[in-house]
Structure 1
Amino acid sequence: MKLKIAIAAVVMTLGTAALAGPGCGLGHGKQVMSCGEGTVWDAQSQSCVPLTTS
């Protein structure tokens, strides 16, 4: 009886982890940032800055 309970607990734990795995914080790609017209993304300041042309 104890063995059946232990096996059921392991199966439920691994099943939950397998389902949650793809949605966890690990392995996420970078998000795409879009800025308004006339601005571009500046990685250093982590914000949209006016587009300057020289």
Structure 2
Amino acid sequence: MSHTPELPEQYVCDGCHAVYAGTVSHEEGTYHYSKPDECAACGSTEFVPFEQYVRHKTA
């Protein structure tokens, strides 16, 4: 039986649209992902979850 690795949550920078893997933390036996504090490309602090990005930009 093969193992499928867990994929990290992804976030899109609202300023320059760069895509980031969520920052991982390990708490109480489970992994949690959170958005970055700041975009390394443009300095923005606004991020949208990847799954919501299209709806966010067209709303």
Give the alignment's TM-score, normalised by structure 2. 0.23
Structure number with bigger Rg: 1
Give the alignment's TM-score, normalised by structure 1. 0.24
Higher relative contact order (CA 8 A, sep 6+): 2
More strand by share: 2
